[in-house]
Amino acid sequence: MADKDTKRILVVDDDELLREFYARVLRTRGYVSLCAINGEEAIEKLKAHGSEISLAIVDLLMPEMTGWELIDTMKKNEGWAKIPILTITGLATSFDEFEKVKEVSDAVLHKGDFELSTFNETVERLLAAKK
């Protein structure tokens, strides 16, 4: 497995400030970030770099192609299905909706309760599990 410096993390969020924040945090931890503003752009990044991507961080509500649609596409593609998915959502979900998110993601963080230490620990845990 590639060392930490070469791990690529796909960051998909239509909110430019959040997308750049996640990318900056990941860079300070030695990772390479590939950023996309929606699911369609993320698919293009996956087509170009799918075998190199160690983790996908995905927002659920985005224009063009939602995070739900992106995750579904990833799960159906043999080359992308094993990429761990960290879903970060601002949705005020019901228990059933939250359970659905947990079913399709390897981890879920809520934007309203965001803590940097939890984000970093979750990224490390998901990357370690992929080895």
Q: Which of 99, 100, 92, 93 is nearest to 71 (CA)?
A: 100
Question: With contact defined as beta carbons under 8 Å apart, do 11 and 34 qualify?
Answer: yes
73 alpha-carbon distance from chain centroid: 14
Q: Which pairs from 27-36 meet CB under 8 Å and 24+ separation?
A: 29/4, 29/120, 29/123, 30/4, 30/5, 31/4, 31/5, 31/7, 31/123, 32/6, 32/7, 32/8, 33/8, 33/9, 34/8, 34/9, 34/10, 35/10, 35/11, 36/10, 36/11, 36/12
pLDDT at position 2:
44
pLDDT at position 93:
60
pLDDT at position 6:
72
Topology of the domain covering 4-130: Rossmann fold (3.40.50)
Domain-wise residue ranges, the chain: 4-130
The 10s digit of each residue's pLDDT in 50-72 is: 899 999 999 988 888 889 999 99
Give the model's confidence band at 4: pLDDT under 50 very low, under 70 low, under 90 confident, else very high. Answer: very low
pTM: 0.90
Residue 24: pLDDT above 60? yes
The 10s digit of each residue's pLDDT in 100-130 is: 778 889 999 988 788 999 999 999 999 998 7
123 vs 126: CA distance, rounded Å:
5
Residues in contact with 46: Cβ distance below 8 Å, sequence separation at least 6, in sequence order: 10, 53, 74, 77, 80
Share of the chain above pLDDT 70, in %: 92
pLDDT at position 56:
98
pLDDT at position 74:
97
pLDDT at position 122:
96
18 vs 63: CA distance, rounded Å:
15
pLDDT at position 112:
77
Q: Which of 75, 59, 55, 78 is nearest to 128 (CA)?
A: 55
pLDDT at position 1:
39
